[in-house]
Structure 1
Amino acid sequence: MDFTTFMQHLANGISLGSLYALIAIGYTMVYGILKLINFAHGDIFMMASYFAFFAVATFHLPWYFAFIIAIALTGLLGVTIEFAAYKPLRSAPKLSILISAIGVSFLLENLAVVLFGGRPKAFPTPKIFTNVVNIGGVSVQNLTFIIPIVTLIFLFGLLYLVNNTNVGMAMRAVAKDVDTARLMGINVNRIISFTFAIGSMLAAVGAMMWSLKYPQIVALMGMIPGMKCFIAAVIGGIGDIKGAVIGGFILGIGEIMLVAFCPSLTGYRDAFAFILLIVILLFKPTGIMGKNLTEKV
């Protein structure tokens, strides 16, 4: 493999890793606050793609306005799911909440099939994203540059929010100890709803980028990306925002390089994520950035 080909694959790997990172942040935020794996996250990602698709294809809105509306609707969807499916079970055993999350996932998938049909739909892609730039013999779409930039902007914005604002301080307090945070006068319900809104909106941004990169949407499109982004969050250390981003880049670049160096293993590309998960759980169960915590009795 020559240098130009390697850089081509590296650019694609960074782009894919940025997508995984953006979606994985939503997983890790919800887990950090509630210690809940929101298995409906991938399906929220799927719904965001449909919101954007219909805003452009049916209502003929400009793509940038359609994306803003889709992100807002997805945040509202996340808050609604938290209110209807998770809030009533907040004092229930963790297993009950987990089962509820799986139920919400199945509900969204089947609801999408009923409402939107089972046939794939072509996502409208503006030319600004598909134009190709040639740099030193490496040909990449504008979107390949845009995705990592968008991911880093949202990462730094989220880190600022968590570490330098009153809301972020409240989020960290709730993540540390819900009961103590409530005694300190923090509106725990509002903070949890805010966290779900932010996580869902990040999933929506990831969905916009994903649909532009792979412009075909279908009701079950959130399953594999959802699982992979969960794996990325675990690899980086679930509950840690920077860890989720690191895990996303490791997974994305690893997948692309696996196919680049071993073309015969192309059919096992998805299996790479699960093998990597097993290795991480065997040798560092808390993930790269994770900390060893003592479980409360």
Structure 2
Amino acid sequence: MSDSETSNASYELTLFDIAWEDVLYAILFPLLSLKDLFNLRCCSRICKQLVDDGFYHIRDVNLSGNNSPRIEIAFQVLSRSCRNVRTVNLAKCNWLRDDDLSRFLRTNTKIRKINLSECPHISTASLQPIIIDCKDLLVLKLARCNWLTIGAMEALTLHHSQIQELDISYCSSLSERCITIFLHNCRLIRTLSLAYIPSVTDNLLYSIAKNSKAMKHLNIIGCQMTTDRGVGAISLYCTQLESLMVRDCPYITERSLALLRGRVFIDRSRDYQQQLNIAPNVGLPRLFLQV
């Protein structure tokens, strides 16, 4: 055997000899979780380079509920390397702070979906990059974010009109007026969750019926100021509605829900026992036509 044949026989193909851009990043990386990628990153210097360069291409970052020790350091690595993220889920991340989130958002302005629900240690300052820079935003989830203010909602309304899904459940400081103005501006919204917002009344349901005819999923669980009148308006005008969540709404009865049954999923059965001693005697008047 010649020297050249011996050299070729002893050569071993490694992971790093495979085309990074066309194969590893395009085919292998989507199959690995963020945990897998960070474990690979720790193996060697070339692994670190491979993964850091690969972070530039990832589209989804999901750290929901991950409160592991030093997870914030891993997030800082993502902030330095990621540039093309489209979907971000940071729900229930107790370690998340304004500075870290703002740094990540400033370098990923193509985000379309972001979930910051139940993040207690951030503030409205974190929303500024989302409001100003993320012009492609379609889905925003801020459930149980007690720091969400009326001013932040007004700024969001001013800069965004293409949002299709919004979850502001349990954001009790929001007024019905600011939500109404938002809906008037975002007429493409299809999924809306307003659970346990005390200010929600039939007036807001009238606004949804008037401005959000593309609505498919509506959650008003615990909005105890809503009645059959509001749901009746929804039934007449939101013809694309697919689901309606109305648990813990004592003034919404089968009078209005019967109009939706058969074409809409409702989270209460037909034989649900209303508290008749407090349910008002409200029908479905012709006033619906004036919405």
Larger Rg: 2
- Structure that is richer in strand per residue: 2
Q: Please report the TM-score for the alignment, with normalisation by the length of structure 2.
A: 0.20
- Structure that is richer in helix per residue: 1
Greater relative contact order structure (CA < 8 Å, 6+ sep): 1
Q: Please report the TM-score for the alignment, with normalisation by the length of structure 1.
A: 0.20
